[in-house]
Amino acid sequence: MGILEPIDDTSCLLHLGADSPWSLTWMISSLDTDFTVTGPPELIEAVRTLGRRCTAAVTP
């Protein structure tokens, strides 16, 4: 479960909690939308790692 906080007409802030940064990474990457991670540092690193892995998976 999360809490959505409106920012403007086209964006919002999603507050989430989970047992690990990897759980949060899975949750937010499964939302079919663009997103920006603002913290914490552990979550930012988990998202970067997933991005590298996904890029490597489709790069010949």
pLDDT of residue 1: 76
13, 3 contact by CB (below 8 A): no
In tens digits, what is the pLDDT along the chain, a chain of 60 residues? Answer: 789 999 999 999 999 999 999 999 999 999 999 999 999 999 999 999 999 999 999 998
Could you tell me the two tokens for 23?
């759980």
Q: In the chain, what are the domain boundaries?
A: 2-58
* Whole-number Cα distances in Å, 32 to 41, 49, 55: 23, 19, 18
pLDDT of residue 36: 95
Note if the pTM is more than 0.85: no
pLDDT of residue 60: 86
18, 46 contact by CB (below 8 A): no
- The span from the CA of 20 to the CA of 46, in Å, is 10
pLDDT of residue 12: 94
